[in-house]
Amino acid sequence: MDDRGISRRALGALAAGGAASLGLSGCDRVGSTEATVKSRQFPDDFVWGVATAAFQTEGSPEADGRGPSIWDTFEKQPGRIKDGSNADVATDSYRRYAEDVDLIAGAGLKAFRFSIAWSRVLPTGEGTVNPAGLDHYDRLVDACLAKGVTPYATLFHWDLPQALQDKGGWSARDTAKSFADYAAAVVGRLGDRLKHVITLNEPAVHTVFGHVLGEHAPGLKDIALLGPTTHHMNLGQGLAIQALRAAHDDLRIGTTLALQPCRVAGGPLAFWNRPAASGLDALWNRAWLDPLLKGAYPVLMADFLKGHLRDGDLKTIHQPIDFLGVNYYAPAYVNLDLGSASHIAPGAPPRGAELDAFGRQIDPSGLVEVLTRIRRDYGNPPVLITENGCSDPFGNGPAVLDDGFRSQYLRRHLEAVKSAMESGSRIGGYFTWTLIDNWEWDIGYTSKFGLVAMDRTTGVRRPKASYGWFKQVAETGTLPTA
């Protein structure tokens, strides 16, 4: 660490730790992770939905003039994807979207969060719009509306057009402007029916895993990219919100952040870990929340951002939003490591912690912590839980159809949501991740997060027990006790 916050070398050590470094701890023991609720009844207008993403589900990479994205490039590079798979078919949802919408409506869900593939709309990311690519989303939006399902479209869920990456991707300032143009093209065609738009999905994950750790596309490992990538995604979001509102004044616009409490790892010298935890919190949570909701970057980001901020940028980024999307899976724990050059090191989960298939701690209290912070420190904006869910045990085996563990995971996190609501948080909905077992980025098909299993040979979908469980919750608005 240096006196201006996390140093470039400091983040380099996180890179060395890999993915696990961002979510694990060395806490001594686990405290209670449960949230308590006064009532198990959600409001009538609470939105129940599922979330998906284009690259993880659509397949049909060459259909109707789609251009390649950075994930098409990345998945073909040897050794990048754990099981050597690609997303050429995924859940085949480009062709089977109507079946997906039927499954959503069949579960009594009233909302579908999907993402739009930028390179279907603009094959090179900019320039001439490809109407055939937009036709797909036109059909999808209409299919949702016909079934009483409200579409929520995410504009960027990590699949940047490769042609833009060739010009520097998000580390280039021009990409922010291209993103706003793309946003305008989407609502220019769909905005008469698509009223809920989410600008970015988990930009911290895309920045850190894609540009610093090299584990996601575009596969870069360069700490110098952290500042420009963060800033240009924030700037692009601000410009996109302006463009969206200029096109249609009745849109409900939000963004989706992967928020994690950055807890100080335990042990006898726990207090030493505080600066490291603050550093991670700055680049993972506050680098996105603060400029959007407060109009300023955290001081700890100053070193990274040097030379990239221009006059007026923060004003552009500080746009009013209609909701903040929160994706929550687990807390992070951080160690200070005097033995490493950076002084920052990953911990391990607390002893005795309950872990999901990712090795992430199952801790609903972390969601309460995140929601409490948004309420107390950020003016209590309206919130949607835009992702939460868990995977079957990893591997290539069949999906677990009798997935009581998933219903329990959802129930416990919904208790956290309800508990925060009872404390005053303005939470309007909950989207579980995800509908159908899909392609999980660098680990391919080895994880299964769906309420529905899919036979990858035939494409046939088969609801799991959790599908029926979630249906009952959505239809009654009542959370069972078990």
Shortest distance, position 369 Cβ to ligand IFM, whole Å:
19
Decide: is 257 part of the binding site for ligand IFM (CB under 6 A): no
Residue 311 CB partners (closer than 8 Å, separation 6+): none
Alpha helices in 48-110 (DSSP H): 54-57, 70-76, 93-106
Query: How far is Cα 477 from Cα 402, in angstroms, rounded to an integer?
Result: 23
Write the DSSP symbol of residue 286.
I
Q: Which residues between 137 and 156 bind ligand IFM (CB under 6 A)?
A: none
Shortest distance, position 225 Cβ to ligand IFM, whole Å:
20
- Residue 393: C-alpha distances to residues 63, 290, 403, 445 (Å): 33, 36, 11, 12
Identity of the residue, 158 or 304, whose beta carbon is nearer to ligand IFM in the bound complex? 158
239, two tokens:
């410009």
Catalytic residue among 215, 369, 387, 415: 387
Decide: is 387 part of the binding site for ligand IFM (CB under 6 A): yes
Query: How far is Cα 387 from Cα 393, in angstroms, rounded to an integer?
Result: 19
From first CA to last CA, the distance across the chain in angstroms is: 45
Degrees (nearest 5) of the Cα angle 23, 290, 311? 130
Decide: is 327 part of the binding site for ligand IFM (CB under 6 A): yes
Identity of the residue, 58 or 202, whose beta carbon is nearer to ligand IFM in the bound complex? 202
Decide: is 207 part of the binding site for ligand IFM (CB under 6 A): no
Catalytic residue among 202, 369, 415, 440: 202
- Residue 23: C-alpha distances to residues 208, 261, 280, 345 (Å): 13, 9, 11, 11
58 is catalytic: no
Number of residues counted as binding ligand IFM (CB under 6 A): 8
Shortest distance, position 258 Cβ to ligand IFM, whole Å:
6
Identity of the residue, 42 or 449, whose beta carbon is nearer to ligand IFM in the bound complex? 449
Decide: is 440 part of the binding site for ligand IFM (CB under 6 A): yes
Shortest distance, position 327 Cβ to ligand IFM, whole Å:
5
Identity of the residue, 281 or 440, whose beta carbon is nearer to ligand IFM in the bound complex? 440
Q: Got the DSSP string for 238-279?
A: HHHHHHHHHH-TT-EEEEEEE---EEEP-STTGGGGHHHHHH
Pick the closest to residue 448 from 458, 439, 460, 456 (CA basis): 439
| SS3 of residue 158 by DSSP | coil
Decide: is 75 part of the binding site for ligand IFM (CB under 6 A): no
Decide: is 202 part of the binding site for ligand IFM (CB under 6 A): yes
Residue 146 CB partners (closer than 8 Å, separation 6+): none
| Residue pair 185/266 in contact by the 8 Å Cβ criterion | no
65, two tokens:
């003039």
| Residue pair 119/182 in contact by the 8 Å Cβ criterion | no
Q: Which of 114, 431, 433, 469 binds ligand IFM (CB under 6 A)?
A: 433
Shortest distance, position 285 Cβ to ligand IFM, whole Å:
15
Identity of the residue, 56 or 93, whose beta carbon is nearer to ligand IFM in the bound complex? 56
Decide: is 53 part of the binding site for ligand IFM (CB under 6 A): yes
Shortest distance, position 231 Cβ to ligand IFM, whole Å:
22
Shortest distance, position 202 Cβ to ligand IFM, whole Å:
5
Type of residue found at 309: L
For 189-227, letters b (16+ CB in 10 Å) and e give bbbeebbbbbbbbbbbbbbbbbbbbbbbbbbbeebebbb
Binding mask 230-249 for ligand IFM (x = CB under 6 A): --------------------
Shortest distance, position 441 Cβ to ligand IFM, whole Å:
6
Identity of the residue, 178 or 260, whose beta carbon is nearer to ligand IFM in the bound complex? 260
Residue 348 CB partners (closer than 8 Å, separation 6+): 24, 25, 26, 333
148: exposed, middle or buried (C-beta count within 10 Å: 0-12, 13-18, 19+)?
Answer: exposed
Identity of the residue, 176 or 205, whose beta carbon is nearer to ligand IFM in the bound complex? 205
Shortest distance, position 280 Cβ to ligand IFM, whole Å:
18
- Tokens 């951080």 belong to residue: 334
Identity of the residue, 59 or 275, whose beta carbon is nearer to ligand IFM in the bound complex? 59
Identity of the residue, 20 or 172, whose beta carbon is nearer to ligand IFM in the bound complex? 20
Residue 451 CB partners (closer than 8 Å, separation 6+): 50, 107, 406, 432, 434, 435, 436, 463, 464, 466, 467, 470
Query: How far is Cα 53 from Cα 156, in angstroms, rounded to an integer?
Result: 9
Decide: is 184 part of the binding site for ligand IFM (CB under 6 A): no
471: exposed, middle or buried (C-beta count within 10 Å: 0-12, 13-18, 19+)?
Answer: middle
202 is catalytic: yes
Catalytic positions: 202, 387
Residues that bind ligand IFM (CB under 6 A): 53, 56, 202, 327, 387, 433, 440, 449
